[in-house]
C-alpha cells in the first residue's frame, strides 16, 4: 500500500461555547486507503468533517490536501482540491434525471446551453471504470435508496474528487445494499481514491476498513490498523469503558397479549399501506419487525399507538377485540408506546421533565382531584422515575428540549414502563442513541419482557433485532413475512427485506 | 446571518430585556417628539402626569385598562393553545349585544343578580360565537386567523343594522344607538366622582383565575400541552378536541365580558363606537405580557397609561395624540424583538 498522505488534519480545535467539539485532533489519510472514523454521537465526527469541508472554521489547526493548505471556511476550495462528501441525507432533485442531477452545479451559471453530450460521455466512462451502474436518464424519484446513493457517489466522482467522505452511509441501506456499497468503495480505493466513512457500526468497520480512528469527547482516543484490533477494543475505546451488553435469557412465553388478524390500514404520508397484516405476540416475548424504512412500519406503529384506525381486520388485545382505537384507549388497555420521533411525537419539547413524565397519567385519581393537579404526587413520582431510569437533567423542572437523546428516551421509557404495560410497542427505540444509552434501553425492554410484557420491536438495525428478539418478522411493502426464528441466516433476512423470496403469510 | 437558539437565559434577562425594550422604544419615540418641536422629557413627564398624576387621571387610566385586561386575557388564553383568535373585537360586540338584548328591560332582576347574569350570558354568547370558527378549524382545517378576523366585520355590520334599525332608541334624537340598559344592570362606581367601575375588579379577578387555571389545573395543563405540541399531546392521549373547544369558550367569553363591562360600566347603551379597537389592542396587550395572565394586567395598564397620558399631553403642548399609537406600536415591536433575542442569538457570517 502506498503510504503517501493525501489529506492531513493538524491540531484541529473547535469550541462551541465552553464545549470542545474537537480538541487538538490530528489525522492523516493515505492514498488508496479506506479509513473508518468511529465515535458515539457528540464525539465530534461531524464537526471534524464539517471543518474539513469548510462548513465550519476551526479555532486552530490546519487542513492540508496533497500537501497544500486549504483556506478555512471555503467549501468551494475543498471541492476544487478534490474532496467530495456524500451526506447521510441525500441532496438530489427527485424531478430530474440522474444525468441532470450530476451536472447540477458543474455548468457555468451564465452558460447559453448545457453540454449534455460531453457530460454523458464523462459519466459513462466513470460508470465503466468504477463499476457503478445507474441509468443516466432515469428519474431520481423512481430510484431505490441504494441507487440514489450510487448517484451521490457518481456526482462526487464527476467533480474529479480524489478523497471521498461518507457520513453514515449504511444508515438507510439493507444488508445487501451495504455489502454492495462496500464492494464499490473497495473498487474505488483499488483505483487510487481515498475514502473516509463515518459510522458507529463496529461490524462495518471490521469488515471494510483498512485503518480506523476512534473519537471520544472531541479527542482521538485510538488510531489503529483494522487488522490489529477487535470489535471489543473499538467499543471500549468509543465508550471509554466496557459496556455490559444486554443479554436475552429465554423465558417460557405466556398467553397471547396481542393478535392482529388480517388488518388493513392506510394513511396519507405514511408510506406503504398495511395489507392483511397478521401477527401474534405473547407475554414474555419480544417480536422483532425488520425491514427497510418506508415499508409500513410507521403505519403499524401508528395503528398500535391508537393514532390510526384500521380499515379492516381485527385487533385483539389480551383476548378482547378493540374497536375504538384512540391513544387514550390504548394506554388504558395497557399498551406502552415508545415512538420513533422522540422530540416531535413522544415529548412536548418545551415542557418540563416532570410535565412530560405526567402526560399519560395526570388524569388518574391520586394525581389530580376535582380538576386540580396534585403537584406533590406528580413531583414525587417524577423524582422516583428520574432516579430509577437514570434520567440525567438539571432537575424535574428542566425543559425536555435540553436533554440528550438518550435521556429523552429514558424519560419516555420511564413514563411507559411505570404504568406496567402488558404490551410494549418500541419503534426504533435506539435510533441515534450512543452505546451506553442503547444498552440501557435494551436492558429496560428485556426486563419488561421478563416481567411479563409482550414487546413489539420495530427496528432497521438487524444487530439489535438479533440481540433482543425471540422471533423476527420482515415487513415489505405493507406486508409481513411469516415469523422467522432468530437462528435464521442474516443474508436470508436481507433478501426478504429487499422483497426477494418474500413469502408473506396472507389470507390463505 | 444565522440564528442559534440560546442554551439558557438568566432570569434577570428574561425580565430585564422587555423593560429595556420599552426604554429603547421611548427613546426612539423621543425623536418624533423632538421633530414635532417639543422637549421629549417634558412630553413624557406630561404624559405620566396626565395618566397617573391625580386621582382622576389614575381612575381614568384604570377604567381604560379594564376592557384591555379582558381582551388581553382572551388572546393570552387562546394563543397559549395556538388558537389564533383575532376576533376579539367581534366577540366584544357579541357580549355588548347580548347585554343590550337582555338588559334593556327584557329581564329585570335586582342588581346583585342582574350584573352576574349579564356577564355570564354575555360570556356564553361570546364563547359560543368563537366556536363557529373553531369548528371550521377542527372539521375543515379552515384557518382561524382569517375566519375570526372576517367575522369581526360581520358582527360590526349586524350591530350597524341593529342600532340603525330594530334597536334604535326613539329617545336618542335620531342618533344611531340602542336604548340604555336598566339601572340594575349598571356597574357600581368604585371611586366617587370617577368613572372607575366594578368591571375593573372583575377583570383583576379574571386575571387571577386564569393564572390559577393555567398553573394548577388539568385544563391549564392541557391547554399548555396542546399549544406546545399538538402532535405530542394527541399521542399522549390528551382530550385535544375538548381542550380546543374549552379554550375557545374561555377566550370568546373573556372578550365578550369586555363588551358587557364597557356597556354596563361606562357608556350605558350600545353604539357603533363602543370599542375603539379594544379587541385588536388585546393582541398587543397579550403579546407584551408574553401571554402571562398576570402580566396582562400590567401591560393593559401600561397601554392605558400611554393612551390616557398622550391625550392630556397633546392638549398641553400641542402634539398630535397619534404619538400614543406610534409609541405602543414601537413598544410592541421592540418587546417582540427583545423576546426573540433572549431566545436566539444572531451570528454574522
Question: Residue A503, Cβ neighbours under 10 Å: how many?
Answer: 9
pLDDT band at B129 (very low <50, low <70, confident <90, very high): very high
Q: Do B237 and A339 touch (CB under 8 A)?
A: no
Residues 76-105 of B with CB under 8 A from A: none
Tell whether A366 is within 8 A of chain B (Cβ).
Answer: no
3-state SS, A403-451, equals CCHHHHHHHHHHHHHCCCCCEEEEECCCCCCCHHHHHHHHHHHHHHHHC
Choose from A5-19, A77-91, A312-326, A485-499 the range with maximum mean pLDDT.
A312-326
pLDDT of residue B184: 94
Task: Report how far residue A471's alpha carbon sits from residue A485's, in angstroms, rounded to the nearest whole number.
Answer: 5
* Res. A110 pLDDT band, cuts 50 70 90: low
Q: Report the range of poorest mean pLDDT among A153-157, A407-411, B219-223.
A: A153-157
Q: Which of B51, B155, B141, B47 is nearest to B97 (CA)?
A: B155
Asked if residue B127 lies in contact with residue B249, where contact means CB atoms within 8 angstroms, the answer is yes
Q: Residues A186, A134: contact at Cβ < 8 Å?
A: no
Place of cell 366594578: B198
> Confidence band (pLDDT; 50, 70, 90) for B266?
very high
**pLDDT given for residue A253 in this prediction:** 83
Please report, rounded to a whole number, the percentage of residues in chain A having pLDDT higher than 70. 95
pTM summary value = 0.80
pLDDT in tens, A203-232: 888 888 999 999 888 889 889 998 988 888
User: Mind listing the pLDDT tens digit for each residue in A159-200?
Assistant: 888 899 998 888 777 777 888 889 889 988 998 899 999 887
Higher pLDDT among residues A202 and A417, named by residue: A417
pLDDT value for A477: 86
Given a cut of 60, whether residue A507 has pLDDT beyond it is no
Residue B226, Cα to own-chain centre: how many angstroms?
23
Q: What angle do CA B328, B265, B73 make, to 5 degrees?
A: 45
Q: Which residues of A touch B81 (CB under 8 A)?
A: none
Number of Cβ pairs closer than 8 Å across A and B? 68
Q: Are A110 and A97 in contact (CB under 8 A)?
A: no
Note whether A345 contacts B7, CB cutoff 8 Å: no
pLDDT at residue B287 greater than cutoff 70? yes
Q: What is the pLDDT of residues B142-192, one digit of tens each?
A: 999 999 999 999 999 999 999 999 999 988 888 899 999 999 999 999 999
Separation of alpha carbons B22 and B288, rounded Å:
10
End-to-end Cα spacing for chain A: 58
**Which of A73-77, A97-101, A291-295, B102-106 is predicted most confidently?**
B102-106
* Phi/psi of residue A215, nearest 5 degrees: -105, 145
Residue A207 near chain B (CB below 8 Å) = no
Helix (H), strand (E) at residue B40: helix B40-52
CB contact under 8 A, B219 and A371: yes
Interface membership of A348 toward B (CB under 8 Å): yes
Q: CA A360 to CA A367: how far, in whole Å? A: 11
Residue A1: pLDDT over 50: no
Q: What is the pLDDT of residue B112?
A: 94
Residue A495, chain B, CB below 8 Å: the answer is: no
Instruction: Please identify, in words, the CATH class of the domain defined by B60-347.
Output: mainly alpha
Tell me how far CA of residue A237 lies from CA of A9, A305, A344, in angstroms.
21, 38, 33
A contacts of B224 (beta carbons < 8 Å): 351
Q: How far apart are CA B324 and CA B321, in angstroms?
A: 6
Q: Which of A381-390, A431-440, B51-60 has the lowest mean pLDDT?
A: A431-440
3-class secondary structure, A11: strand
Q: What percent of chain B has pLDDT over 70?
A: 98
Burial class (CB in 10 A: 0-12, 13-18, 19+), B252: buried
Nearest CB to B218 within list A337, A351, A363: A363
Which residues 236-275 in chain B show a CB within 8 A of chain A?
A: 236-239
How crowded is residue B317: how many other Cβ atoms within 10 Å of its Cβ?
Answer: 15
- Dihedral, CA of residue A492, residue A493, residue A494 and residue A495, to nearest 10: 50
Grid cell 363606537 is found at B273
Q: Reduced to 3 states, what is the DSSP secondary structure of residue B337? A: helix
Using a CB–CB cutoff of 8 Å, tell me whether B234 touches chain A: yes
Q: How far apart are CA A212 and CA A198, in angstroms?
A: 10
Tell me the mean pLDDT in the region A221-248: 81
Can you tell me the mean pLDDT for B285-295?
92
CA–CA min distance B68, chain A (Å): 28
pLDDT at B257: 98
Mean confidence (pLDDT) of chain B: 92
CA angle B287, B288, B292 (to 5 degrees): 75
Phi then psi dihedrals of residue A487, to 5 deg: -80, 0
B245 is written with which cell numbers? Answer: 373547544
User: Quick check: A230 contacting B, CB < 8 Å?
Assistant: no
Structure confidence at residue A506 (pLDDT): 41
User: In angstroms, rounded to a whole number, what is the distance separating the alpha carbons of residues A134 and A150?
Assistant: 8
Cβ of B218 under 8 Å from any chain A Cβ? Answer: yes
Contact B7 A351 (CB under 8 A): no
* Helix/strand/coil for A289: strand
Task: Name the average pLDDT for chain A.
Answer: 86
Sign of CA dihedral A337, A342, A346, A351: positive
Instruction: Give the residue extent of every domain in chain B.
Output: 60-347
What pLDDT does B349 receive?
Answer: 56
Taking CA–CA distances from A416, the nearest residue in chain B reads B236
Q: What is the pLDDT of residue A244?
A: 67
State the Cα–Cα distance between residues B263 and B294, nearest whole angstrom.
24
CA count, 13 A, side-chain hemisphere, B80? 31
Min mean pLDDT across A383-397, B224-238, B247-261 is at A383-397
**B225 to chain A: which residues are within 8 Å by CB?**
348, 351, 355, 359
Is the separation of the CB atoms in B21 and B287 below 8 Å?
A: no
The segment(s) of chain A belonging to CATH 3.40.50.300 are 5-239, 256-497
Q: Please give the grid coordinates belonging to residue A235.
A: 467499543
Rounded distance between C-alpha atoms, residue A251 and residue A255, angstroms: 13
| Among candidate residues A60, A23, A479, A465, the one with its CA nearest the CA of residue A265 | A479
Look at residue A397 and give its three-state secondary structure: coil
More reliable by pLDDT, A493 or B3: A493
What's residue B8's pLDDT?
Answer: 67
What's the rounded mean pLDDT across residues A106-122?
74
Considering the four listed CATH numbers 3.40.50.620, 3.10.20.30, 3.40.640.10, 3.40.50.300, the one that applies to the domain covering A5-239 is 3.40.50.300
Residue B37: pLDDT band (50, 70, 90) is: confident
Q: What is the mean pLDDT of residues B90-106?
A: 96
Which pLDDT score, from 0 to 100, does residue A269 have?
A: 67
CB A214 within 8 A of CB A240: no
**What average pLDDT does the segment B97-117 reach?**
94
* A402 in B contact zone (CB under 8 Å): yes
pLDDT tens-digit profile of A144-169? 777 888 898 898 888 888 899 998 88
CB within 8 Å: B216 and A373: yes
In 3D space, the residue among B161, B193, B177 whose CA is nearest the CA of residue B55 turns out to be B193
Distance from CA of A334 to the nearest CA of B (A): 13
A374/A133: higher pLDDT:
A374
Cell of A394: 438539571
Percent helix, strand, coil in chain B, to 5, is 75, 5, 25
Q: Mean pLDDT across the stretch A121-127?
A: 88
Q: Check residue B10 and report its DSSP letter.
A: -
Query: What is the ipTM for the molecules in this complex?
Result: 0.87
pLDDT on residue A508:
30
Instruction: Please list every residue in chain A whose beta carbon sits closer than 8 Å to the beta carbon of residue B216.
Output: 372-373, 375
Please state the φ and ψ torsions of residue B13, each to the nearest 5 degrees: -70, -35
CATH 3.40.50.300 at A256-497, yes or no:
yes
Residue of B nearest to A73 (CA): B349
Across the interface, whether the CB atoms of A349 and B217 are under 8 A apart is answered: no
Beta strand pairing call for A423-427 and A335-338: parallel
Distance from CA of B264 to the nearest CA of A (A): 33
Amino acid at each position: 500500500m502506498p503510504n503517501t498522505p493525501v489529506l492531513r488534519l493538524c491540531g484541529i480545535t473547535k469550541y462551541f461555547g465552553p464545549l470542545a467539539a474537537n480538541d487538538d485532533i490530528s489525522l492523516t489519510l493515505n492514498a488508496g486507503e479506506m479509513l473508518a472514523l468511529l465515535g458515539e454521537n457528540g464525539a465530534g465526527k461531524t464537526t471534524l468533517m464539517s471543518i474539513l469541508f469548510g462548513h465550519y472554521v476551526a479555532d486552530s489547526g490546519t487542513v492540508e490536501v496533497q500537501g497544500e493548505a486549504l483556506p478555512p471556511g471555503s467549501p468551494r476550495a475543498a471541492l476544487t482540491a478534490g474532496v467530495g462528501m456524500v451526506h447521510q441525507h441525500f441532496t438530489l432533485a427527485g424531478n430530474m434525471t440522474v444525468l441532470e442531477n450530476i451536472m447540477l452545479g458543474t455548468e457555468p451559471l451564465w452558460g447559453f446551453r448545457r453540454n449534455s453530450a460531453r457530460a454523458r460521455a464523462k459519466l459513462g466512462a466513470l460508470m465503466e471504470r468504477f463499476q457503478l451502474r445507474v441509468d443516466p436518464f432515469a428519474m431520481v424519484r423512481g430510484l431505490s435508496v441504494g441507487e440514489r446513493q450510487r448517484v451521490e457517489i457518481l456526482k462526487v466522482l464527476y467533480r474529479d474528487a480524489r478523497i471521498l467522505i461518507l457520513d453514515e452511509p449504511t444508515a438507510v441501506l439493507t444488508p445487501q445494499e451495504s455489502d454492495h456499497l462496500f464492494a464499490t468503495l473497495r473498487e474505488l480505493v483499488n483505483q487510487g481514491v481515498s475514502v473516509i466513512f463515518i459510522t458507529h457500526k463496529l461490524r462495518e468497520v471490521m469488515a471494510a476498513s483498512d485503518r480506523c480512528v476512534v473519537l471520544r469527547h472531541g479527542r482521538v482516543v485510538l488510531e489503529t490498523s483494522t487488522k490489529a484490533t477487535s470489535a471489543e477494543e473499538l467499543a471500549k475505546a468509543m465508550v471509554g469503558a466496557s459496556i455490559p451488553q444486554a443479554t436475552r435469557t429465554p423465558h417460557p412465553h405466556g398467553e397471547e397479549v396481542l393478535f392482529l388478524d388480517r388488518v388493513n390500514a392506510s394513511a396519507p404520508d405514511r408510506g406503504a399501506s398495511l395489507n392483511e397484516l397478521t401477527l401474534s405476540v405473547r407475554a414474555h416475548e419480544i417480536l422483532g419487525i425488520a425491514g427497510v424504512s418506508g415499508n409500513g412500519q410507521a403505519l403499524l406503529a401508528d395503528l398500535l399507538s391508537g393514532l390510526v384506525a384500521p380499515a379492516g381486520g381485527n385487533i385483539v388485545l389480551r383476548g378482547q377485540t378493540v374497536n375504538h382505537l384512540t391513544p387514550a384507549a390504548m394506554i388504558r388497555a395497557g399498551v406502552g408506546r415508545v415512538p420513533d420521533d422522540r422530540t416531535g411525537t413522544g415529548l412536548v419539547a418545551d415542557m418540563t421533565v416532570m410535565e412530560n413524565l405526567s402526560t399519560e397519567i395526570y388524569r388518574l385519581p391520586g394525581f389530580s382531584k376535582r380538576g386540580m393537579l396534585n403537584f406533590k404526587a406528580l413531583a414525587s413520582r417524577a423524582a422516583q422515575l428520574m432516579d430509577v431510569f437514570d434520567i440525567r437533567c438539571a432537575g424535574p423542572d428542566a425543559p425536555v428540549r435540553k436533554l440528550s437523546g438518550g435521556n429523552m428516551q429514558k424519560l419516555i421509557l420511564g413514563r411507559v414502563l411505570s404504568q406496567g404495560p402488558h404490551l410494549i410497542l418500541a419503534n426504533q427505540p435506539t435510533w441515534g442513541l450512543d452505546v451506553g444509552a442503547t444498552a440501557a434501553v435494551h436492558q429496560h425492554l428485556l426486563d419488561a419482557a421478563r416481567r411479563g410484557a409482550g414487546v413489539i420491536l420495530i427496528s432497521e438495525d438487524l444487530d439489535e433485532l438479533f440481540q433482543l428478539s425471540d422471533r423476527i418478522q420482515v415487513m415489505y411493502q405493507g406486508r409481513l413475512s411469516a415469523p422467522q426464528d432468530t437462528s435464521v441466516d442474516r443474508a436470508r433476512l436481507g433478501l426478504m427485506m429487499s422483497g426477494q423470496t418474500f413469502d408473506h403469510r396472507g389470507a390463505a | 446571518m444565522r440564528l442559534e437558539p440560546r442554551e439558557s437565559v438568566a432570569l434577570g434577562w428574561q425580565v430585564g430585556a422587555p423593560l429595556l425594550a420599552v426604554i429603547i422604544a421611548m427613546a426612539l419615540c423621543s425623536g418624533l417628539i423632538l421633530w414635532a418641536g417639543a422637549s421629549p422629557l417634558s412630553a413624557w413627564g406630561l404624559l405620566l402626569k396626565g395618566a397617573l398624576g391625580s386621582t382622576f387621571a389614575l381612575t381614568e387610566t384604570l377604567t381604560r385598562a379594564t376592557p384591555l385586561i379582558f381582551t388581553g386575557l382572551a388572546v393570552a388564553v387562546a394563543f397559549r393553545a395556538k388558537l389564533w383568535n383575532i376576533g376579539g373585537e367581534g366577540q366584544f360586540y357579541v357580549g355588548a349585544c347580548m347585554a343590550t338584548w337582555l338588559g334593556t328591560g327584557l329581564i329585570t332582576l335586582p342588581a346583585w343578580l342582574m350584573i352576574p347574569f349579564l356577564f355570564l350570558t354575555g360570556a356564553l354568547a361570546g364563547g359560543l360565537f368563537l366556536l363557529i370558527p373553531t369548528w371550521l378549524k377542527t372539521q375543515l382545517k379552515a384557518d382561524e386567523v382569517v375566519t375570526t378576523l372576517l367575522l369581526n366585520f360581520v358582527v360590526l355590520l349586524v350591530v350597524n343594522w341593529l342600532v340603525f334599525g330594530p334597536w334604535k332608541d326613539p329617545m336618542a334624537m335620531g342618533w344611531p344607538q340602542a336604548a340604555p340598559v336598566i339601572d340594575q344592570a349598571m356597574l357600581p362606581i368604585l371611586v366617587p366622582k370617577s368613572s372607575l367601575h366594578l368591571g375593573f375588579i372583575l377583570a383583576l379577578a379574571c386575571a387571577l383565575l386564569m393564572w390559577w387555571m393555567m398553573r394548577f389545573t388539568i385544563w391549564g395543563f392541557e391547554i399548555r400541552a396542546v399549544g406546545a405540541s399538538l402532535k405530542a399531546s394527541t399521542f399522549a392521549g390528551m382530550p385535544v378536541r375538548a381542550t380546543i373547544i374549552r379554550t375557545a369558550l374561555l377566550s370568546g367569553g373573556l372578550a365578550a365580558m369586555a363588551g358587557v363591562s364597557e356597556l354596563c360600566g361606562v357608556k350605558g347603551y350600545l353604539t357603533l363606537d363602543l370599542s375603539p379597537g379594544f379587541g385588536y389592542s388585546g393582541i398587543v396587550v397579550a403579546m407584551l405580557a408574553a401571554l402571562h395572565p398576570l402580566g396582562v394586567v400590567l401591560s393593559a395598564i401600561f397601554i392605558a397609561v400611554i393612551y390616557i397620558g398622550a391625550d392630556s399631553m397633546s392638549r398641553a403642548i400641542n402634539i398630535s395624540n397619534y404619538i400614543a399609537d406610534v409609541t405602543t406600536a414601537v413598544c410592541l415591536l421592540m418587546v417582540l424583538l427583545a423576546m426573540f433575542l433572549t431566545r436566539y442569538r444572531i451570528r454574522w457570517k
